Homo-oligomer: A and B are copies of this chain.
Amino acid sequence: MIVLVAKYHVKPGQMDAVIGHLKTMAPLVKANEPGCAYYTASRARDDENLLMLVEHYTDEDALAQHREMPHFKDIIEGKVVPLLEKRERELFDLTVG
C-alpha cells in the first residue's frame, strides 16, 4: 500500500473553505476510486494554516489515476490549490498496520 502525505499550507482565512472542499472530495474519492483505500485530512495543532492529508493507494496506477479524476481536477486543482500558499508531497510504503 502506498501512503501519500500531502501538506497543505493554506492562505490565512481560507481554512474553512478548503475543509469544505475536501469534505466534498472525500465521498467522491470513495465512490469513484476503489484504489484509494483511505482518504483523510487533519488540522495541525501547532499551525492553524496547516492541513495534512493522508491517503492510501493500492498501487502506482491508483495513485496516478487519482490525479486524472474529474473531481480531483475540479475540486483540488480548480478550487483548493488557489487557496493554498504551497503544497508538500511525500510518499511512503505502508509497513506496519
User: B97 and A26: CB pair below 8 A?
Assistant: yes
Number of interface residues of A (CB under 8 A): 27
Residues of B with C-beta under 8 A to A42? 3, 92-96
Residues of B with C-beta under 8 A to A46? 90-91
| Chain A facing B: main interface SS | strand
User: A45 and B97: CB pair below 8 A?
Assistant: no
User: B19 and A51: CB pair below 8 A?
Assistant: no
User: B43 and A92: CB pair below 8 A?
Assistant: yes
* Residues of chain A whose beta carbon lies under 8 Å from any beta carbon of chain B: 3, 5, 19, 22-23, 25-26, 38-46, 51-52, 54, 90-97
Task: Add 13 more A-B contacts to A3-B52, A43-B95 (CB < 8 A).
Answer: A19-B96, A23-B96, A39-B96, A41-B95, A42-B95, A44-B92, A45-B90, A45-B91, A46-B90, A46-B91, A51-B95, A52-B92, A54-B54
